[in-house]
Structure 1
């Protein structure tokens, strides 16, 4: 079976009507290169300090999630989530704690990740 072309009716003398198929919805939400670089930069610093040990990335249909673990077999300490549905509301990015408490939400990733930065300690 072949594709069926839609019939476009137009008035005499009018320019042809352009019909375009709507672009398909994205299959999954992902972090782009800049976002992932920023997240992995923070992750690398925290691993060097001995705070974090493992991570997992999950790209779902409605959001992308970066999970941070203290040990490989634990529940995640934090989840960094990107949810495009909240882009015009509370903000596309959020940091969620192990208990499900939203620690920070916003439109700018560096500001949201700042909640996970450890303050400098004197030795």
Structure 2
């Protein structure tokens, strides 16, 4: 380790990479078009990043997509969290974690 690495006051913030955001925004756009979602928020914190999804702007998020790099080798760095705080899916592949929400787009057509 170099001197600057040892004496950094704060670690860098965790954020979503462009490729991760394109996967999330693709799903988000389809859900907005289906009338399911209306708004989103992104938070980049020291230990994790959160993409919050809202049905209405003034409400609590109905889903949160979390990225926690420290859990990469344990449970998986991505997690889909429901409105009640329950983890719906966790893993290292963002697309497979978001497949839970993809199923909401599939509807039976008469």
CA offsets 1:13-48 (integer angstroms, 9 cap, x no match): xxxxxx833535642000000000000000000000
1:29 aligned residue: 14
Could you give the per-residue CA deviations for residues 82-118 of structure 1, whole angstroms, max 9, x where no partner exists?
A: 0011000000000000000100000100000101112
Stretches of structure 1 that go unaligned for 5 or more consecutive residues are 1-18
Residue 56 of structure 2 is aligned to residue 56 of structure 1: no
1:83 paired with 2:83, answer: no
SS of 1:89 mapped into structure 2: coil
Classify the secondary structure of the residue corresponding to 2:20: helix
Correspondence list, 1:67-82, <5 A: 67-82=52-67
The structure that is helix-richer by fraction is 2
TM-score, with length taken from structure 2: 0.89
Aligned residue pairs, count: 105
Between structure 1 and structure 2, the one with the greater Rg is 1
Residue in structure 1 matched with residue 85 of structure 2 by the alignment: 100
**Structure with greater contact order relative to length (CA < 8 Å, sep ≥ 6):** 2
Unpaired segments ≥5 residues, structure 2:
none
Per the alignment, residue 107 of structure 2 pairs with 120
Taking structure 1 as the reference length, what is the TM-score of the superposition?
0.80
When the two chains are superposed, the root-mean-square deviation of aligned CA atoms in Å is 1.5
2:2 is aligned to 20
Q: Secondary structure at the match of 1:51?
A: coil
